[in-house]
Amino acid sequence: MSNYDVKDIKLADGGRLKIEWAEREMPVLRQIKERFAKEQPLKGMRISACLHVTTETANLMKTLQAGGADVVLTASNPLSTQDETAASLVTHDEIPVYAIKGEDNITYYKHINAAIDHKPHFTMDDGADLVNVLHTKRREVLSGVVAGTEETTTGVIRLHAMAADGALNYPIIAINDALTKHFFDNRYGTGQSTLDGIIRATNVLLAGKVFVVAGYGWCGRGLASRARGMGSNVIVTEVDPLKALEAVMDGFRVMKMEDAAKIGDIFVTLTGDINVIDEHHFAVMKDASIVCNSGHFNVEINIPSLDKMSKTKRLVRPFVEEYITKDNRRIYILGEGRLINLASAEGHPASVMDMSFANQALSLEYLTKNAAKMEKKVYSVPEAIDQNIAALKLAAMGVSCDTLTAEQVKYLGSWEEGT
């Protein structure tokens, strides 16, 4: 194969072992792969996927390929690629991959364009960068695209804005909206993998630290509960009064970032918004504060402002940059402000990605049958798919749950019976 761009093709064998390791924890996707291999529901379909290039994503790519699809993969973030995984997909599965960990922005977009050159019938995105380039710079390819999927909260928000502007040219299923996605991937996945990223980057003890979580969405609440479990004293900052109230009643201290900035030891942003940690927050932080982001884009921390406030900066460990401010405080930025769980760790564990990617595979199958009837807007994952994935996951875990009796079904459907 010549049509790929990865760091080092010789890494392939190590990558294959890790892909197999992840597959052990992905029983739902495995079952889908077996069925796809028999039924070939994606036969003849060209798919361009723009996802984090991880061992879990590799298993999704192999599932789509088993279903008959002609797949290419490009990175959805410059710092999240696992180079061994990329090499293995090219060598052992003949899947073209365009992704190199640490690539610059020019290369990142060159890779997205290479995936678009594949002339996809379907797009699969995580953050909507592929869809954005298709709609703004590669419109000549748009007419051939039938439908797509979007993995993450940030991407779904961008797509809703496109649809509201009448700018979206084909239907897209928001995988993030499936309950079997955000209840588990966003909450338990982000909770664990963000701590994993911070620990691998810094090796700091979390017990006894003041740990500030910005944003109490599904990701933020997962992280807050996991950080508390590690013995941190957790503070939550929020802009939504309802979520702030939930955080209070979940037992967290809630305050404004300008107050939290003065007392925090470790800060993590998970809001999807810009400049959540800004110049006036850096100005009051304690010496040796650690600051990182677990939201999709590297916009949540205003690093350019910290640059201006600082007299020096240096890399003191992989993924740990030390800034010395002009008033002689050390501030540590992890992973260049990019999502720390994928920059310095391996992203969410396979067991939750199993459900997220089962939603991707089954939604794509659904689109092959239904896209022609759908409008150019953002759709939720069909409820039947979501429920089916929950049932399959539970069965794979060897857990049974009750079913309603006929009497209970009748009771729930009636309105006459009261006190």
The residues of the shown chain that bind ligand ADE, judged by CB under 6 A, are 51-52, 54, 56-57, 342, 347-348, 353
Q: How far is the CB of 342 from ligand ADE (least distance, A)?
A: 6
Residue closer to ligand ADE, measured from CB, 188 or 267: 188
Residue closer to ligand ADE, measured from CB, 49 or 306: 49
Task: Name the strands in the sheet holding 46-51, side by side, starting at the edge strand that comes first in the sequence.
Answer: 97-98, 70-75, 46-51, 122-125, 147-150, 172-174, 378-380
Q: How far is the CB of 256 from ligand ADE (least distance, A)?
A: 29
- CB of 350 within 8 A of CB of 26? yes
> Tokens 């090219």 identify what position?
90
Name the residue whose CB lies closest to ligand ADE: 347
- CB of 380 within 8 A of CB of 179? no
| One-character DSSP codes across 191-228 | HHHHHHHHHHHH----TT-EEEEE--SHHHHHHHHHHH
Residue closer to ligand ADE, measured from CB, 209 or 348: 348
What residue type is assigned to position 364 of the chain? L
Distance in angstroms (rounded) separating the CA atoms of residues 126 and 136: 17
CA 170-174-176 angle, 5° bins: 160
Q: Which residues of 210-223 are buried (b: 16+ CB within 10 A; e: fewer)?
A: bbbbbbbbbbbbbb
Which residues, other chains included, contact 76 with Cβ-Cβ below 8 Å and sequence gap of 6+?
A: 50, 51, 52, 125, 126, 127, 129, 130, 151
Q: How far is the CB of 126 from ligand ADE (least distance, A)?
A: 6
Residue closer to ligand ADE, measured from CB, 111 or 348: 348
Q: How far is the CB of 26 from ligand ADE (least distance, A)?
A: 11
Residue closer to ligand ADE, measured from CB, 348 or 393: 348
β-bridge mates for residue 124, sequence order: 49, 149
Residue closer to ligand ADE, measured from CB, 54 or 359: 54
Q: How far is the CB of 14 from ligand ADE (least distance, A)?
A: 17
Q: How far is the CB of 268 from ligand ADE (least distance, A)?
A: 15
The pair of structure tokens assigned to 286 is 């304690």
Q: How far is the CB of 151 from ligand ADE (least distance, A)?
A: 7
Residue closer to ligand ADE, measured from CB, 232 or 351: 351
Strands 172-174 and 378-380: parallel
Residue closer to ligand ADE, measured from CB, 171 or 347: 347
Q: How far is the CB of 248 from ligand ADE (least distance, A)?
A: 28
